[in-house]
Amino acid sequence: MPKVLDKRSAILKTALDLLVENGFHNTPMSLIAREAGVSAGIIYHYFESKEELILELYREVKRNIIGLLLAGDVRKLNGLDALRQVWLNTYRYYVSHPKETLFLEQFENSPYARMCLHDFDSQIQPLFEWIEAQKRAGNMADLPMEILYELSLGFAISLAKQQIAGSIQVTDVVLDEVSRVILRGLKPG
Amino acid sequence: MPKVLDKRSAILKTALDLLVENGFHNTPMSLIAREAGVSAGIIYHYFESKEELILELYREVKRNIIGLLLAGDVRKLNGLDALRQVWLNTYRYYVSHPKETLFLEQFENSPYARMCLHDFDSQIQPLFEWIEAQKRAGNMADLPMEILYELSLGFAISLAKQQIAGSIQVTDVVLDEVSRVILRGLKPG
Amino acid sequence: MPKVLDKRSAILKTALDLLVENGFHNTPMSLIAREAGVSAGIIYHYFESKEELILELYREVKRNIIGLLLAGDVRKLNGLDALRQVWLNTYRYYVSHPKETLFLEQFENSPYARMCLHDFDSQIQPLFEWIEAQKRAGNMADLPMEILYELSLGFAISLAKQQIAGSIQVTDVVLDEVSRVILRGLKPG
Amino acid sequence: MPKVLDKRSAILKTALDLLVENGFHNTPMSLIAREAGVSAGIIYHYFESKEELILELYREVKRNIIGLLLAGDVRKLNGLDALRQVWLNTYRYYVSHPKETLFLEQFENSPYARMCLHDFDSQIQPLFEWIEAQKRAGNMADLPMEILYELSLGFAISLAKQQIAGSIQVTDVVLDEVSRVILRGLKPG
DNA sequence: CATGAATGAGGCTTCATTCAT
DNA sequence: CATGAATGAAGCCTCATTCAT
């Protein structure tokens, strides 16, 4: 990996840690620089501004996630199994990436996020198409896309957040039961 | 209403508007004062600090919501109808209070909210007890409290947020269908 | 004089001193504040920004000058005497206000001055009208206004600048001779 | 032309453009480098510092001008014609070199120019000597050198600046009339 | 000679909070 | 109770200059 990516990555990684820990506005650029082991000025060589750094971090995290949702050869599974797999993929990603999870939640609920929330429409398109196919195949309730999304992935995320926060311990048994409940809800009819 | 409450309320109301619009850290105290029609100094007569003002706003909003969840004589209804009523109460509160909704989300996802997230355990206790009763009565799946909460109210909030953001139009038909799906998921067995 | 004007004036006066001494970009706001005996923040209570502070200073200096050009009951004098009086007014103002002179020159030759160089058209109008009247009365050569302006006041300023810089010693004898030369040049025919 | 001069010249030429456009302190070295098509580091191979680059540019421009003032075989003309020729040379140089004109004005009115304003005494000496000769020959009023300079060349420059700024349109007719006025003023007695 | 990433001091500006009136 | 001028610490960002490659 070229050095240049090394430093840029170090900044992004450190930013993620600190932003989650302290929040956007309690994380001075100078602190990010210090923790990343670089000078204060160099950040502006890689990112236009603090805001742009955060946006870039958001884009990168989001790209990663979207790439993983359909992982595990989901397309080869049939109806309910595929559904269950996507659901589990989502849940597991979020649980195993607590910082990314908290960052996304913080970012997406901040007022200045509104400018780029639809940047990912094109990347998430495959998932939407897959859901549409499931609906047409009669594997899923005929509800608006956003609601189906919320019922499945939104809930996976909420569950992961609670697990991260330590409010609950999601054992495999519970996970099994929960996914059963979800699927029952999403089934057509 | 005494003048004192008037001024305090004006500050809180203005703060809600501005915090939702601009975010916590892009809302100077001086702006809150100006928009509320009071002087900058007087805010510190009613609130210890900016942080305390925000916390107080959070407490007030949260108190309101919790008081309404069990409204409509929920306790007199039986199982599923009660469940449905609580769910609808929640959804409707959030949809009809967009600023409060956005404020809560922003606050609860900010790192400095962690200090008071459990302030309301005592107030929300009645709801939890009611849910426990439903579980014992066999009206609800035997899942951890937090998960049941997330599945019902969490989803109502998510739905309301999407409606607020304009991502979806939740017609009465959809609402009906959705609540049916939710309830099917929550049913025992 | 109310205190508020006192402090605002102190800032403007200190700014003039320092800007002339060090130039616009070698005069930090913090230095202006320190020398004016105020805190760094308060400057922004009176002026929007550093640029606005400088613009305001320019406006104030320019207002003063314009007010003095026609001083001394110039309007009551006839042709050449009036002309001579205006010329001397100009010269004397600039010589006796070296800081203002250097500031104006510095400002008007800086690229970011272009935004407000015509702010004073309305204030200088009386002078222009007076010159027009002189031309019609046959007391002055029939040249474009700007050239007449340059030949008289422009030269008075240049002379004053050289005197300020110490390049020359303008004795009363020289001043007399010079004004004679100027007037000869401006005479009609 | 060797490549070395090429690159040095490119830097100076670009610097002139940008300094006039943006001012000394809004023209980063990195911008000069980029626009000149060279790297940021290499500028320091040709110039000690930013200040030295600007000084060098000033010296170069000034050298050019001085060389041209006495152009056109002025020395072969007699009194008034020579005077007129020098005046026109000056005016024409400035009008046809707007960037150089603005740069000089900006530089000479900036406080950090004071360090080198007398660098050119030796180069401008021939002009001064020529003026002295004119005075002795009775072709010019017996005024201090600086004042004669200001009355003739200073005014030519002012006129050129106004023409550059678009404030006036100097037609040949006007130019003729103006030079006549100037000469009348400079005539002895 | 040439590059451009890297440094870090320093500038402008904001804003929570205080306090004299 | 009320005002709003005042403070000053702290944040974001720029940029002249250096130096490893």
Q: How confident is the model over A146-170, as a mean pLDDT?
A: 85
| D-contacting chains (≥3 CB pairs under 8 Å) | C
pLDDT of residue C1: 42
Contact C53, C63 (CB under 8 A): no
C138 φ/ψ sector (left φ>0, alpha ψ -120 to 50, else beta): left
Report whether D185 contacts C177 (CB < 8 A): no
Q: What is the pLDDT of residue B116?
A: 67
CB–CB of A69/A91 below 8 Å?
no
**DSSP states along C129-140:** HHHHHHHHTTSS
Which of D133, D147, D129, D157 lies closest to D186 in space, CA to CA? D147
Most confident of A126-130, C144-148, C152-156, D31-35: D31-35
Average pLDDT over chain C reads 85
> Which tops the pLDDT comparison, A4 or B71?
B71
Which residue of D lies nearest to C160 if distances are taken between CA atoms? D147
Q: Give the CATH architecture of domain C55-186.
A: Orthogonal Bundle (1.10)
| CA distances from residue B79 to B185, C91, C189, D44 in whole angstroms, order as listed | 14, 96, 110, 82
Asked if pLDDT for residue C94 goes beyond 70, the answer is: yes
DSSP conformation class of A187: S
- pLDDT higher than threshold 90 for residue B174: no
Find residues whose C-beta atom lies within 7 angstroms of strand E.
A 3-4, 7, 38-42, 45-46; B 25-30, 40-41, 44, 49-51; C 25, 27-30, 40-41, 44, 49-51; D 3-4, 7, 38-42, 45
> B31: Cβ–Cβ under 8 A, 6 or more apart, which residues?
B18
| CA C57/CA D81 separation, integer angstroms | 45
Which stretches of chain A are DSSP H helices? 3-22, 29-36, 43-46, 50-69, 79-96, 98-108, 121-136, 145-149, 155-165, 172-186
As a whole-number percent, the residues of chain D with pLDDT over 70 amount to 89
The answer to whether D150 contacts C141, with C-beta atoms less than 8 Å apart, is no
What pTM was estimated for this model as a whole? 0.88
d(CA B63, CA B41): 27
Pick from C154, C117, C148, C155: nearest CA to C133: C148
- pLDDT tens, C52-80? 999 999 999 998 888 888 776 666 776 67
Give the chain A residue nearest B114 (alpha carbons). A165
| More confident of the two residues D57 and D68 | D57
Q: How confident is the model at residue B133, as a pLDDT?
A: 83
Q: Is the pLDDT of residue A79 over 70?
A: no
Long-range contacts of A174-181 (CB under 8 A, 24+ apart): A174/B143, A174/B144, A174/B147, A175/A88, A175/A91, A177/B141, A177/B143, A178/B143, A178/B147, A179/A84, A179/A87, A179/A88, A181/B141, A181/B143, A181/B151, A181/B185, A181/B186
Give yes or no for a contact between C188 and C139, defined as CB atoms under 8 angstroms apart: yes
How far does the CA of residue B155 sit from the closest CA of chain A (Å)? Answer: 7
Q: Which of the nucleotides in strand F have any atom less than 7 Å away from a protein CB atom?
A: 1-20
* Short-list B94, B112, B99, B98, CA closest to B18: B99
**Residue contact C181–D21, C-beta within 8 A:** no
- Touch between B and A (at least 3 CB pairs under 8 Å): yes
d(CA A110, CA A51): 12
Q: Is the predicted pLDDT of residue C128 greater than 90, yes or no?
A: no
Chains that touch B (3 or more CB pairs under 8 A): A
> Which pLDDT band holds residue D189 (cuts at 50, 70, 90)?
low
Helices (H), D28-153: 29-36, 43-46, 50-69, 79-96, 98-108, 121-136, 145-149
* pLDDT, mean of residues A42-68: 93
pLDDT band at B111 (very low <50, low <70, confident <90, very high): confident
- The CATH number of A1-47, from 3.40.50.300, 1.10.10.10, 1.10.10.60, 3.40.630.10, is 1.10.10.60
Q: Where is average pLDDT lowest: A45-49, A120-124, C173-177, D84-88?
A: A120-124
Domain map of chain B by residue range? 1-47, 55-186
Say whether residue C151 is in contact with chain D using an 8 A CB cutoff: yes
Interchain pair B184, A185: CB under 8 A: yes
B112 and A23 within 8 Å at the Cβ level: the answer is yes
User: For residue D115, what pLDDT band results from cuts at 50, 70 and 90?
Assistant: low
B65-to-A138, B157, B159 alpha-carbon distances in Å: 38, 12, 16
Res. D121 pLDDT band, cuts 50 70 90 = low
pLDDT of D97 strictly over 60: yes
List all nucleotides in chain E with at least one atom under 7 A from a protein Cβ: 1-20
Q: Using alpha carbons, list the distances in angstroms from residue C85 to A19, C89, C147.
A: 69, 6, 19
Residues of chain C in contact with residue D20, where contact means CB-CB under 8 angstroms, are: 111
Q: Does C22 touch chain D (CB under 8 A)?
A: yes
DSSP state, residue B138:
T
Do C22 and C106 meet the contact criterion of CB atoms below 8 Å apart? no
DSSP classification of residue A2 = -
